[in-house]
Structure 1
């Protein structure tokens, strides 16, 4: 291994050289040797089992060229160690067809309670929760539209990860001093965090990925929604981006982490199962799902809208009525649906034959190619199809979202991600199994993610108590290894505090003692003694080291004035 490479006065061990007298030819030679060695190390790294199923459209040299002269070893990110831990967990659970299931937490208190459970082995941080409760630098709370500063969730990751490290140090001290034999609690459970839609173009995605790796996230998920058109996956009006845009986000994230030398995991989420709008028709892989009209010569909705908005007395209610009437009158179809309505069944079947033959040579068919195949199948027919006429005011295309779209997109994303997330409208086990079987036909190794969302009214979907209890484990049998109740912490927080508020107003301290303190003691909650929970004894131990025994009685936090001795 080359430890020192001198180039124009710079030593490639992170320090400046004492002399710049080395010849240019020697510098070039040393540079080439250094680059060759770094390329070899990266290729060895990529050759490990961790990356056996990951594709990269760039080379190891591309990574080396963008790392700079500082050795990558000088930054050993803790999140990469956490990612290795997460990867091992996922591999083990996936092989055994068991779930790695967890609950979304919103603060260090909930994180520490999660840590005490042996069955819950990872933590999750939601962008929805950050947007609605934890705010960012603007101190604005809002629903989940992804319009908060892009460092909001990374900063919450940092908050939780630093709390994890603090409580881990506290527990480690207790173990070393023989004060506990707790082998269940693990404060360093890997954090999986919500990166939304990346909050910008590729360079922003890379900056966001860098923040997450620096601040402690073992994994992040990225969804295929549009920046500025982002919605919670269970709201209407979400705008899907072209498949190529989402692929660029995944690749940008991987490149950033390769430059940093970290092993963090990427979860590729698709919201196309519920999507009805597409931001652009630029990617031919999406063309089969874009909808258009089949009536010749109609006035596009955007033209009609512009005309209405130019009239001074037209109200927003009138425009809404006109819009509903336009879409009711002008029905929309995908190209295949439109073609089937305009040709004979024999001609349509001929078109499908030609299309399937085409798909054996290339995995997608563009609109131009579909029109050419239709002309071959029915040369005497002029096919009417206009996907521009029904476009929205913002220019979005109408999109035929659903399982087929979600499956195709997930197959595109799988080689560039570590896991695939299907966002759904309902908790449908049959739908999930169908999705899993289609994905695993092509990529049997792919691990899947399922959002056990509190947006679902679980009691309204016909599940028995036995079905509900087994839902997570039934999903895991089909490869949905990672499962999460994204906003569990939010709901528990609201419910439990509301129950206390109602009772406290009428019953005062009786309510607090009965609903909090007695239950904390009964459940062996470590927050009962909140000073100890916060690490007071850990800091007290540090003070004793600094004082070298002096003033150990007077400065100790655990003296006669320590009220938690009452417990």
Structure 2
């Protein structure tokens, strides 16, 4: 039977489409009311879930891009997990208590995390995936975001499927043995890096994450190809508008899919020294130039040096020398240096007045130059931000808290949470950031990376402050907190300790460091066959074979060695 498509136009709008088998809720050849579908989307967006979310697209934009398969027919489990995560965030934000967790690198760690009642979410790190498991290429590397874009989604899928397996096992044990039900279905928050490409790639990546089980993802404002771990040097930011479009593209993709997954907007502008373009006026106040506008640019000098065939080390020395001889300044700093203190004071006052009148935080370079001309008509500020550009064409950027706050204020309406990436664990810095964001957007949930890259013992914490740090952060609205690479470090240190001792102490080392600890701590991996779900599979086989499988059960009889425990 062939499908028939009839489009009826009333004025200029499409009102009804008749499509065979549009949805399981529709009868054969029934008529779909497009305006009714638009209203459903509109009502969905008005729900509590999206009360603080801004969109540039309309409900009709979503309906007309969904296709003929009814949204009721495509339910994604990750959306249910996202609802669970949203509710946890709402509750914890009201109480100002943390939703804190540890990064896991495999199903083993996920199951152990799940047995901790006060840890309610799981985290999957791109850094950990890059260094331990890169699916299609198996090329592990530092966190430069240069692995295939399905790497982290595939790891999410691996962990999510394990969650479902262990949940089924636990559910069976609860019914048959009256054991308390372990919540293995912790919502997964995953690292989407910088989106791994243009906007269509960002959308494909968002789709993959929703399909494979991530309740939330975070996207950072770094450049594809210039991506670095937030605690490495050399990271390149993208213009504010570029990252904003990534957030919008992700929301559109998830709206088309009908899911409620959460977007975390992360900024690395606190630590970054480079930006890919000067196209966005919101970035202009932080782009650095030089005041000697007659000097040849660094790239000109670089080309000359390459012609002479200098060595790599000599080239590096010349680069250092160029930047030492040409001080990097923002336009405001150039104004302060080149004008009198009184004129500079008037400039800053006029600048603030203009911001207020324009009802925005930023001024473009053009507007700042015009202000100087108004205050001191005969003065010209020498400033050129093209001269110090890197060999790749990147502009110099003055990263810091002000840049991070400005960017976050732009990203907040289009995201569900804001992530501040910092150099050190600093409560006062976090408070300042929180106050500025919450002054404008009081309901914004903040995210903090409790990074293993920090030397925590050298950051001035005593034992009491170290223990309370997570809870102190939560009071400032940093609800979601994570030790991103906890699983990686625990995996390394525990196996390193065992390996060292096993080489000389043999099984004594294994028993003392592993088996006895598993017994003392009630770790369910002591009986790893049961942990893996062998009893669950036995239970299914009993059903399949109508009870006649007693001789072939894996967890019965003398051959089942875990009966020793």
Q: What band does the TM-score fall into relative to the shorter chain?
A: over 0.9
Aligned equivalents of 1:551 and 1:519: distance in 2?
35
277 and 536 in structure 1: CA distance in 2 versus 1, 3 angstrom threshold: same
Aligned equivalents of 1:423 and 1:466: distance in 2?
24
Offset from partner CA, 1:136-169 (integer Å, 9 cap, x none): 2101000000000000000000000000000000
Pair 1:324-2:333 in alignment: no
Aligned equivalents of 2:297 and 2:552: distance in 1?
81
TM-score by length of 1: 0.95
Runs of 4+ with deviation above 4 angstroms: 4-9, 17-20
CA displacement at 1:362 relative to structure 2? 4.0
Which residue of the other structure, out of 215, 218, 221, is the alignment partner of 1:218? 215
Report what 2:10 is aligned to: none
Aligned equivalents of 1:427 and 1:389: distance in 2?
35
Task: Work out whether residues 126 and 152 of structure 2, in 8 Å CA contact, stay in contact via their aligned partners in 1.
Answer: yes
CA displacement at 1:14 relative to structure 2? 4.7
Task: Work out whether residues 144 and 231 of structure 1, in 8 Å CA contact, stay in contact via their aligned partners in 2.
Answer: yes
CA displacement at 1:358 relative to structure 2? 1.7
Pair 1:68-2:67 in alignment: yes
Report what 2:76 is aligned to: 77
Aligned equivalents of 1:366 and 1:498: distance in 2?
54
Aligned equivalents of 2:133 and 2:345: distance in 1?
56
538 and 5 in structure 1: CA distance in 2 versus 1, 3 angstrom threshold: farther
Offset from partner CA, 1:509-548 (integer Å, 9 cap, x none): 1111111111111111100000000000000011110100
Pair 1:524-2:516 in alignment: no
Aligned equivalents of 2:78 and 2:459: distance in 1?
39
Which residue of the other structure, out of 9, 13, 22, is the alignment partner of 1:13? 22
* SS of structure 2 residue aligned to 1:218: strand
Aligned equivalents of 1:554 and 1:202: distance in 2?
54
CA displacement at 1:181 relative to structure 2? 2.3
Report what 2:425 is aligned to: 427
* SS of structure 2 residue aligned to 1:483: strand
CA displacement at 1:346 relative to structure 2? 2.2
Report what 2:469 is aligned to: 471
Aligned equivalents of 1:9 and 1:270: distance in 2?
46
Q: Any residues of structure 2 matched to 1:65-214 within 5 Å, and which?
A: 65-177=64-176, 179-183=177-181, 185-214=182-211
Aligned equivalents of 1:371 and 1:342: distance in 2?
13
Report what 1:247 is aligned to: 244
Task: Work out whether residues 5 and 13 of structure 1, in 8 Å CA contact, stay in contact via their aligned partners in 2.
Answer: no
* SS of structure 2 residue aligned to 1:518: helix
Aligned equivalents of 1:484 and 1:114: distance in 2?
13
Which residue of the other structure, out of 337, 346, 353, is the alignment partner of 2:349? 353
Aligned equivalents of 2:547 and 2:175: distance in 1?
19
Task: Work out whether residues 450 and 483 of structure 2, in 8 Å CA contact, stay in contact via their aligned partners in 1.
Answer: yes
Report what 1:24 is aligned to: none
CA displacement at 1:345 relative to structure 2? 2.0
Aligned equivalents of 2:285 and 2:366: distance in 1?
11
Report what 1:337 is aligned to: 333
Pair 1:44-2:16 in alignment: no
Report what 2:226 is aligned to: 229
Query: Which 5+ residue runs of structure 1 have no aligned equivalent?
Result: 21-26
* SS of structure 2 residue aligned to 1:11: coil
Q: Any residues of structure 2 matched to 1:380-419 within 5 Å, and which?
A: 380-419=378-417
542 and 460 in structure 1: CA distance in 2 versus 1, 3 angstrom threshold: same
What is the CA RMSD across the aligned residues, in angstroms? Answer: 1.7
Aligned equivalents of 2:536 and 2:556: distance in 1?
11
CA displacement at 1:173 relative to structure 2? 0.7
Aligned equivalents of 1:337 and 1:18: distance in 2?
69
Task: Work out whether residues 5 and 34 of structure 1, in 8 Å CA contact, stay in contact via their aligned partners in 2.
Answer: no
- 553-562 vs 231-240, which moves further: 553-562
CA displacement at 1:18 relative to structure 2? 12
Task: Work out whether residues 541 and 549 of structure 2, in 8 Å CA contact, stay in contact via their aligned partners in 1.
Answer: no
Report what 2:12 is aligned to: none
Task: Work out whether residues 12 and 71 of structure 1, in 8 Å CA contact, stay in contact via their aligned partners in 2.
Answer: no
Aligned equivalents of 1:547 and 1:493: distance in 2?
40
* SS of structure 2 residue aligned to 1:382: coil
Aligned equivalents of 1:103 and 1:562: distance in 2?
34
CA displacement at 1:11 relative to structure 2? 2.0
Aligned equivalents of 2:313 and 2:294: distance in 1?
27
Aligned equivalents of 1:556 and 1:428: distance in 2?
53
Report what 1:450 is aligned to: 448
Aligned equivalents of 2:132 and 2:504: distance in 1?
28
How many pairs were matched up? 550
Offset from partner CA, 1:101-128 (integer Å, 9 cap, x none): 0000000000000000011000000000
* SS of structure 2 residue aligned to 1:172: helix
Aligned equivalents of 1:141 and 1:244: distance in 2?
32
Report what 1:23 is aligned to: none
CA displacement at 1:80 relative to structure 2? 0.2
* SS of structure 1 residue aligned to 2:135: coil
Task: Work out whether residues 21 and 28 of structure 2, in 8 Å CA contact, stay in contact via their aligned partners in 1.
Answer: no
Aligned equivalents of 1:155 and 1:558: distance in 2?
35
Query: Which 5+ residue runs of structure 2 have no aligned equivalent?
Result: 8-16
TM-score by length of 2: 0.95
CA displacement at 1:65 relative to structure 2? 1.3
Offset from partner CA, 1:37-90 (integer Å, 9 cap, x none): 111000000000111110001111111111111101111000000000000000
